[in-house]
Amino acid sequence: MGVTTASMFRWAGYRELVRKYPVRLRAMEERPRTRIVLEHGRIHTSIAIAREMAERDFLVFAPKLKTNVLSHAYSGALKLNIGTVDSRERLYHHNRDLPIKIVDILEVANPDLIVTDGIRFSYGGNQMTQGGEDLGVIVVSTNGVAHDMVCARLLNLDPANIEHIREVMERGYGPSSLEEVEILGDYPVKRARTITSKLDFGFYPVDRFQSNFEIISGTPYCTGGCQGIFLDWLHMIKDRKPKVLKKFPKLTVLIGMVKNSKPTGKMLLVGQCALASRPIQAERVVRIKGCPPSHKRIVWDMMVHFWLLAPLVRPSLIIDGFVLYPLKKLKGWLMNLRFRPLVN
Protein backbone atom coordinates (compact mmCIF):
# COMPACT_ATOMS: atom_id res chain seq x y z
CA MET A 1 0.00 0.00 0.00
CA GLY A 2 3.00 2.30 0.19
CA VAL A 3 2.58 2.85 3.92
CA THR A 4 5.69 3.61 5.98
CA THR A 5 7.17 0.90 8.18
CA ALA A 6 7.39 3.38 11.05
CA SER A 7 3.64 3.95 10.83
CA MET A 8 3.00 0.22 10.88
CA PHE A 9 5.10 -0.04 14.05
CA ARG A 10 2.61 2.38 15.58
CA TRP A 11 -0.56 0.74 14.19
CA ALA A 12 0.58 -2.76 15.21
CA GLY A 13 1.53 -1.71 18.74
CA TYR A 14 5.23 -2.50 18.30
CA ARG A 15 6.24 0.66 20.12
CA GLU A 16 5.04 -1.00 23.31
CA LEU A 17 7.92 -3.46 22.87
CA VAL A 18 10.43 -0.64 23.17
CA ARG A 19 8.85 0.50 26.42
CA LYS A 20 8.84 -2.98 27.94
CA TYR A 21 11.98 -4.65 26.58
CA PRO A 22 15.55 -3.69 25.56
CA VAL A 23 14.79 -3.86 21.82
CA ARG A 24 15.11 -1.38 18.97
CA LEU A 25 12.80 -0.88 16.01
CA ARG A 26 14.37 -0.29 12.60
CA ALA A 27 12.38 0.77 9.52
CA MET A 28 14.19 -0.82 6.58
CA GLU A 29 13.61 2.01 4.11
CA GLU A 30 15.18 4.52 6.50
CA ARG A 31 18.36 2.59 7.26
CA PRO A 32 21.81 2.48 5.62
CA ARG A 33 21.86 -0.29 3.03
CA THR A 34 24.43 -2.73 1.75
CA ARG A 35 24.32 -4.30 -1.71
CA ILE A 36 25.02 -8.01 -1.74
CA VAL A 37 26.03 -9.94 -4.85
CA LEU A 38 24.01 -13.13 -5.36
CA GLU A 39 25.86 -16.26 -6.40
CA HIS A 40 22.76 -18.16 -7.54
CA GLY A 41 20.27 -15.43 -8.48
CA ARG A 42 18.14 -15.97 -11.58
CA ILE A 43 16.24 -12.66 -11.54
CA HIS A 44 18.49 -10.59 -9.28
CA THR A 45 22.26 -10.45 -9.64
CA SER A 46 22.50 -8.37 -6.46
CA ILE A 47 20.16 -7.06 -3.79
CA ALA A 48 20.35 -4.03 -1.50
CA ILE A 49 19.25 -4.74 2.05
CA ALA A 50 19.49 -2.92 5.36
CA ARG A 51 22.98 -3.10 6.86
CA GLU A 52 21.58 -4.55 10.10
CA MET A 53 20.13 -7.42 8.08
CA ALA A 54 23.39 -8.08 6.24
CA GLU A 55 25.44 -8.05 9.45
CA ARG A 56 23.01 -10.03 11.58
CA ASP A 57 23.98 -12.96 13.79
CA PHE A 58 20.55 -14.59 13.79
CA LEU A 59 17.39 -14.01 11.75
CA VAL A 60 13.89 -14.70 13.07
CA PHE A 61 10.80 -14.54 10.88
CA ALA A 62 7.36 -14.24 12.50
CA PRO A 63 4.79 -14.70 9.71
CA LYS A 64 1.05 -14.83 10.12
CA LEU A 65 -0.53 -18.03 8.83
CA LYS A 66 -2.58 -16.73 5.92
CA THR A 67 -3.58 -17.18 2.32
CA ASN A 68 -2.56 -14.90 -0.53
CA VAL A 69 -3.96 -14.77 -4.07
CA LEU A 70 -0.63 -13.36 -5.31
CA SER A 71 1.35 -16.47 -4.38
CA HIS A 72 -0.82 -19.45 -5.29
CA ALA A 73 -3.06 -19.14 -2.22
CA TYR A 74 -0.30 -19.33 0.41
CA SER A 75 2.01 -16.81 2.03
CA GLY A 76 4.49 -17.91 4.69
CA ALA A 77 8.16 -17.70 5.63
CA LEU A 78 9.56 -17.78 2.08
CA LYS A 79 7.21 -15.07 0.79
CA LEU A 80 7.92 -12.93 3.87
CA ASN A 81 11.51 -12.37 2.72
CA ILE A 82 10.14 -9.95 0.06
CA GLY A 83 9.97 -7.49 2.95
CA THR A 84 13.76 -7.35 3.18
CA VAL A 85 14.13 -5.29 -0.03
CA ASP A 86 12.97 -1.75 -0.76
CA SER A 87 9.83 -0.94 -2.77
CA ARG A 88 11.64 -0.49 -6.10
CA GLU A 89 13.38 -3.86 -5.97
CA ARG A 90 10.26 -5.41 -4.49
CA LEU A 91 8.18 -4.59 -7.58
CA TYR A 92 10.96 -5.58 -10.00
CA HIS A 93 9.74 -8.81 -11.69
CA HIS A 94 6.84 -9.00 -9.22
CA ASN A 95 4.88 -10.79 -11.96
CA ARG A 96 4.94 -14.33 -13.35
CA ASP A 97 8.58 -14.44 -12.16
CA LEU A 98 7.60 -13.88 -8.51
CA PRO A 99 8.34 -17.49 -7.42
CA ILE A 100 11.88 -17.20 -8.83
CA LYS A 101 12.34 -13.79 -7.24
CA ILE A 102 11.28 -15.10 -3.82
CA VAL A 103 13.92 -17.82 -3.93
CA ASP A 104 16.60 -15.37 -5.17
CA ILE A 105 16.06 -13.21 -2.09
CA LEU A 106 16.32 -16.27 0.14
CA GLU A 107 20.07 -16.20 -0.52
CA VAL A 108 20.37 -13.08 1.65
CA ALA A 109 17.30 -13.50 3.90
CA ASN A 110 17.14 -17.16 4.91
CA PRO A 111 15.66 -17.30 8.42
CA ASP A 112 17.31 -19.29 11.20
CA LEU A 113 14.05 -19.57 13.11
CA ILE A 114 10.42 -19.20 12.05
CA VAL A 115 7.58 -18.78 14.55
CA THR A 116 4.17 -18.58 12.90
CA ASP A 117 0.94 -17.48 14.54
CA GLY A 118 -1.90 -19.70 13.38
CA ILE A 119 -3.99 -19.36 16.54
CA ARG A 120 -6.41 -17.52 14.31
CA PHE A 121 -5.42 -17.65 10.64
CA SER A 122 -6.59 -15.27 7.93
CA TYR A 123 -7.87 -16.50 4.60
CA GLY A 124 -9.54 -15.54 1.34
CA GLY A 125 -9.90 -12.13 -0.18
CA ASN A 126 -7.38 -9.33 0.01
CA GLN A 127 -4.30 -9.94 2.16
CA MET A 128 -4.94 -6.70 4.09
CA THR A 129 -8.70 -7.05 4.62
CA GLN A 130 -9.44 -10.78 4.64
CA GLY A 131 -11.34 -12.48 7.44
CA GLY A 132 -10.20 -15.11 9.89
CA GLU A 133 -10.93 -18.49 11.40
CA ASP A 134 -9.82 -20.09 14.67
CA LEU A 135 -7.20 -22.77 14.05
CA GLY A 136 -5.35 -22.91 17.38
CA VAL A 137 -1.84 -23.70 16.20
CA ILE A 138 1.65 -22.20 16.53
CA VAL A 139 4.25 -23.48 14.05
CA VAL A 140 7.96 -23.36 14.95
CA SER A 141 10.70 -24.41 12.54
CA THR A 142 14.40 -23.92 11.83
CA ASN A 143 13.97 -24.36 8.06
CA GLY A 144 11.80 -22.11 5.90
CA VAL A 145 11.11 -24.76 3.26
CA ALA A 146 9.99 -27.40 5.76
CA HIS A 147 7.92 -24.76 7.52
CA ASP A 148 6.07 -23.69 4.38
CA MET A 149 5.47 -27.27 3.26
CA VAL A 150 3.79 -28.13 6.55
CA CYS A 151 1.82 -24.87 6.72
CA ALA A 152 0.55 -25.44 3.18
CA ARG A 153 -0.74 -28.85 4.28
CA LEU A 154 -2.42 -27.24 7.30
CA LEU A 155 -4.34 -25.12 4.78
CA ASN A 156 -5.21 -28.24 2.77
CA LEU A 157 -2.92 -27.17 -0.08
CA ASP A 158 -0.43 -29.29 -2.00
CA PRO A 159 3.06 -27.74 -1.56
CA ALA A 160 4.06 -29.03 -5.01
CA ASN A 161 1.34 -26.85 -6.59
CA ILE A 162 2.68 -23.66 -5.00
CA GLU A 163 5.26 -22.37 -7.44
CA HIS A 164 7.71 -20.71 -5.04
CA ILE A 165 7.77 -23.81 -2.82
CA ARG A 166 8.40 -25.98 -5.86
CA GLU A 167 11.14 -23.57 -7.00
CA VAL A 168 12.87 -23.57 -3.62
CA MET A 169 12.76 -27.37 -3.39
CA GLU A 170 14.44 -27.60 -6.80
CA ARG A 171 17.21 -25.23 -5.65
CA GLY A 172 17.98 -27.35 -2.60
CA TYR A 173 17.28 -24.97 0.29
CA GLY A 174 15.48 -27.66 2.26
CA PRO A 175 13.66 -30.97 2.03
CA SER A 176 12.45 -32.09 -1.39
CA SER A 177 9.26 -33.71 -0.08
CA LEU A 178 7.02 -33.79 2.99
CA GLU A 179 8.25 -37.28 3.74
CA GLU A 180 11.62 -35.76 4.71
CA VAL A 181 10.03 -33.42 7.29
CA GLU A 182 9.68 -34.50 10.92
CA ILE A 183 6.57 -33.04 12.53
CA LEU A 184 6.54 -32.88 16.34
CA GLY A 185 4.03 -31.51 18.82
CA ASP A 186 0.49 -32.18 19.99
CA TYR A 187 -1.47 -30.64 17.12
CA PRO A 188 -2.59 -33.10 14.40
CA VAL A 189 -2.26 -31.75 10.86
CA LYS A 190 -5.51 -33.57 10.07
CA ARG A 191 -7.40 -31.34 12.53
CA ALA A 192 -6.39 -28.18 10.68
CA ARG A 193 -7.15 -29.71 7.28
CA THR A 194 -10.67 -30.58 8.43
CA ILE A 195 -11.27 -26.89 9.16
CA THR A 196 -9.50 -25.37 6.14
CA SER A 197 -10.90 -27.79 3.55
CA LYS A 198 -14.32 -26.11 3.89
CA LEU A 199 -13.08 -22.56 3.24
CA ASP A 200 -12.89 -20.44 0.06
CA PHE A 201 -9.44 -18.88 -0.29
CA GLY A 202 -10.47 -16.61 -3.17
CA PHE A 203 -7.69 -17.92 -5.39
CA TYR A 204 -9.07 -18.20 -8.92
CA PRO A 205 -8.54 -16.47 -12.30
CA VAL A 206 -9.33 -12.76 -12.11
CA ASP A 207 -11.87 -13.00 -14.97
CA ARG A 208 -14.00 -15.28 -12.78
CA PHE A 209 -14.61 -12.54 -10.21
CA GLN A 210 -18.32 -11.66 -10.19
CA SER A 211 -19.04 -7.94 -10.66
CA ASN A 212 -20.33 -5.43 -13.23
CA PHE A 213 -16.86 -5.43 -14.78
CA GLU A 214 -16.28 -7.53 -17.86
CA ILE A 215 -12.74 -8.67 -17.25
CA ILE A 216 -10.69 -9.92 -20.18
CA SER A 217 -7.50 -11.64 -19.09
CA GLY A 218 -4.86 -11.79 -21.81
CA THR A 219 -1.38 -13.25 -21.80
CA PRO A 220 0.81 -13.75 -19.96
CA TYR A 221 -1.20 -14.58 -16.83
CA CYS A 222 0.73 -13.09 -13.91
CA THR A 223 -0.47 -14.50 -10.60
CA GLY A 224 2.00 -12.30 -8.74
CA GLY A 225 1.57 -9.37 -11.14
CA CYS A 226 -1.26 -7.48 -12.83
CA GLN A 227 -3.92 -10.18 -12.70
CA GLY A 228 -3.14 -11.09 -9.11
CA ILE A 229 -2.89 -7.51 -7.84
CA PHE A 230 -6.15 -6.46 -9.53
CA LEU A 231 -7.85 -9.57 -8.09
CA ASP A 232 -6.46 -8.53 -4.70
CA TRP A 233 -8.01 -5.06 -5.13
CA LEU A 234 -11.38 -6.59 -6.08
CA HIS A 235 -11.30 -8.78 -2.98
CA MET A 236 -10.52 -5.71 -0.86
CA ILE A 237 -13.85 -4.21 -1.94
CA LYS A 238 -15.69 -7.49 -1.43
CA ASP A 239 -14.20 -8.03 2.04
CA ARG A 240 -15.15 -4.68 3.57
CA LYS A 241 -17.68 -2.99 1.24
CA PRO A 242 -19.53 -5.74 -0.66
CA LYS A 243 -22.42 -3.39 -1.52
CA VAL A 244 -19.99 -1.30 -3.58
CA LEU A 245 -19.65 -4.21 -6.03
CA LYS A 246 -23.24 -3.57 -7.18
CA LYS A 247 -22.33 0.08 -7.83
CA PHE A 248 -19.45 -0.74 -10.15
CA PRO A 249 -19.88 0.97 -13.53
CA LYS A 250 -20.29 -1.08 -16.69
CA LEU A 251 -16.67 -1.35 -17.68
CA THR A 252 -14.45 -3.60 -19.74
CA VAL A 253 -11.18 -4.34 -17.93
CA LEU A 254 -8.27 -5.61 -19.99
CA ILE A 255 -5.37 -7.25 -18.12
CA GLY A 256 -2.58 -8.80 -20.14
CA MET A 257 -2.06 -8.56 -23.90
CA VAL A 258 -4.81 -9.41 -26.39
CA LYS A 259 -4.61 -9.24 -30.16
CA ASN A 260 -8.13 -7.98 -30.77
CA SER A 261 -10.48 -6.22 -28.39
CA LYS A 262 -14.16 -5.75 -29.11
CA PRO A 263 -15.60 -2.20 -29.21
CA THR A 264 -16.79 -0.95 -25.83
CA GLY A 265 -17.96 2.24 -24.14
CA LYS A 266 -15.38 2.38 -21.35
CA MET A 267 -12.22 0.35 -21.11
CA LEU A 268 -9.66 0.06 -18.32
CA LEU A 269 -6.18 -1.15 -19.24
CA VAL A 270 -4.22 -2.57 -16.30
CA GLY A 271 -0.45 -2.97 -16.66
CA GLN A 272 2.10 -2.62 -19.42
CA CYS A 273 0.98 -5.70 -21.40
CA ALA A 274 -2.58 -4.37 -21.63
CA LEU A 275 -1.27 -0.97 -22.72
CA ALA A 276 0.60 -2.69 -25.54
CA SER A 277 -2.55 -4.43 -26.86
CA ARG A 278 -3.79 -3.38 -30.30
CA PRO A 279 -6.19 -2.24 -31.49
CA ILE A 280 -8.11 -0.66 -28.61
CA GLN A 281 -11.63 0.36 -29.62
CA ALA A 282 -13.47 2.24 -26.90
CA GLU A 283 -15.15 5.60 -26.33
CA ARG A 284 -13.03 6.16 -23.23
CA VAL A 285 -9.79 4.47 -22.21
CA VAL A 286 -8.25 4.67 -18.72
CA ARG A 287 -4.72 3.36 -18.25
CA ILE A 288 -3.10 2.11 -15.06
CA LYS A 289 0.62 1.89 -15.75
CA GLY A 290 3.19 -0.39 -14.18
CA CYS A 291 4.68 -3.87 -14.46
CA PRO A 292 2.99 -4.53 -12.21
CA PRO A 293 1.12 -1.45 -10.94
CA SER A 294 1.34 -1.08 -7.18
CA HIS A 295 -1.65 -1.51 -4.91
CA LYS A 296 -1.45 2.19 -4.14
CA ARG A 297 -1.55 3.03 -7.86
CA ILE A 298 -4.66 0.90 -8.45
CA VAL A 299 -6.44 2.26 -5.37
CA TRP A 300 -5.65 5.85 -6.42
CA ASP A 301 -6.59 5.50 -10.10
CA MET A 302 -9.86 3.69 -9.41
CA MET A 303 -10.77 6.42 -6.93
CA VAL A 304 -9.84 9.30 -9.26
CA HIS A 305 -11.31 7.95 -12.49
CA PHE A 306 -14.33 5.99 -11.28
CA TRP A 307 -15.00 7.23 -7.72
CA LEU A 308 -14.58 3.72 -6.35
CA LEU A 309 -13.27 4.11 -2.81
CA ALA A 310 -11.36 1.17 -1.38
CA PRO A 311 -12.05 0.40 2.32
CA LEU A 312 -8.50 1.46 3.22
CA VAL A 313 -8.90 4.95 1.74
CA ARG A 314 -9.07 7.14 4.83
CA PRO A 315 -7.31 10.39 5.73
CA SER A 316 -4.63 8.85 7.95
CA LEU A 317 -3.50 6.39 5.25
CA ILE A 318 -3.67 9.00 2.48
CA ILE A 319 -1.35 11.29 4.48
CA ASP A 320 0.91 8.40 5.32
CA GLY A 321 1.08 7.00 1.78
CA PHE A 322 1.35 10.23 -0.21
CA VAL A 323 3.07 12.63 2.22
CA LEU A 324 5.07 10.73 4.85
CA TYR A 325 6.16 7.84 2.62
CA PRO A 326 7.97 10.05 0.06
CA LEU A 327 9.67 11.88 2.94
CA LYS A 328 10.84 8.59 4.44
CA LYS A 329 12.10 7.48 1.03
CA LEU A 330 14.00 10.75 0.70
CA LYS A 331 15.53 10.20 4.14
CA GLY A 332 16.67 6.73 3.08
CA TRP A 333 18.09 8.04 -0.20
CA LEU A 334 20.09 10.75 1.57
CA MET A 335 21.37 8.20 4.06
CA ASN A 336 22.56 5.96 1.24
CA LEU A 337 24.25 8.45 -1.09
CA ARG A 338 27.37 6.41 -0.50
CA PHE A 339 26.82 2.67 -0.57
CA ARG A 340 29.24 0.38 1.18
CA PRO A 341 31.27 -1.88 -1.13
CA LEU A 342 29.66 -5.02 -2.47
CA VAL A 343 29.89 -7.99 -0.12
CA ASN A 344 29.43 -11.72 -0.55
User: Could you tell me if 267 and 251 lie in one domain?
Assistant: yes
Given 147, 175, 196, the domain boundary residue is 196
User: Could you tell me if 245 and 339 lie in one domain?
Assistant: no
> What pLDDT was estimated at residue 1?
60
Cα–Cα distance for residue pair 302/286, rounded to 1 Å: 10
Cα–Cα distance for residue pair 263/283, rounded to 1 Å: 8
User: Could you tell me if 56 and 186 lie in one domain?
Assistant: yes
Total structural domains within the chain: 3
User: Could you tell me if 101 and 228 lie in one domain?
Assistant: no
User: Could you tell me if 228 and 120 lie in one domain?
Assistant: no
Cα–Cα distance for residue pair 181/158, rounded to 1 Å: 15
Residue 181 placed within a domain: yes
Residue 276 placed within a domain: yes
Given 196, 229, 260, the domain boundary residue is 196
Residue 283 placed within a domain: yes
Residue 84 placed within a domain: yes
User: Could you tell me if 130 and 147 lie in one domain?
Assistant: yes
Residue 92 placed within a domain: yes
User: Could you tell me if 108 and 190 lie in one domain?
Assistant: yes
Q: What is the pLDDT of residues 234-288, one digit of tens each?
A: 999 999 989 989 889 999 999 999 887 777 889 999 999 998 887 788 889 999 9
User: Could you tell me if 224 and 278 lie in one domain?
Assistant: yes
Residue 126 placed within a domain: yes
CA atoms within 13 A on the CB side of 118: 31
Q: Are 301 and 255 in contact (CB under 8 A)?
A: no
User: Could you tell me if 318 and 250 lie in one domain?
Assistant: no
Residue 36 placed within a domain: no
Residue 267 placed within a domain: yes
User: Could you tell me if 88 and 226 lie in one domain?
Assistant: no
User: Could you tell me if 338 and 287 lie in one domain?
Assistant: no
Radius of gyration of the chain (CA): 21
Structural domain including 284 reads: 206-311
| Average pLDDT, 10 consecutive residues per value, the chain (344 residues) | 82 91 88 92 93 93 95 94 85 90 94 97 91 95 97 96 95 93 94 94 96 93 95 94 90 90 87 87 90 89 90 78 82 73 50
User: Could you tell me if 336 and 290 lie in one domain?
Assistant: no
Cα–Cα distance for residue pair 319/121, rounded to 1 Å: 30
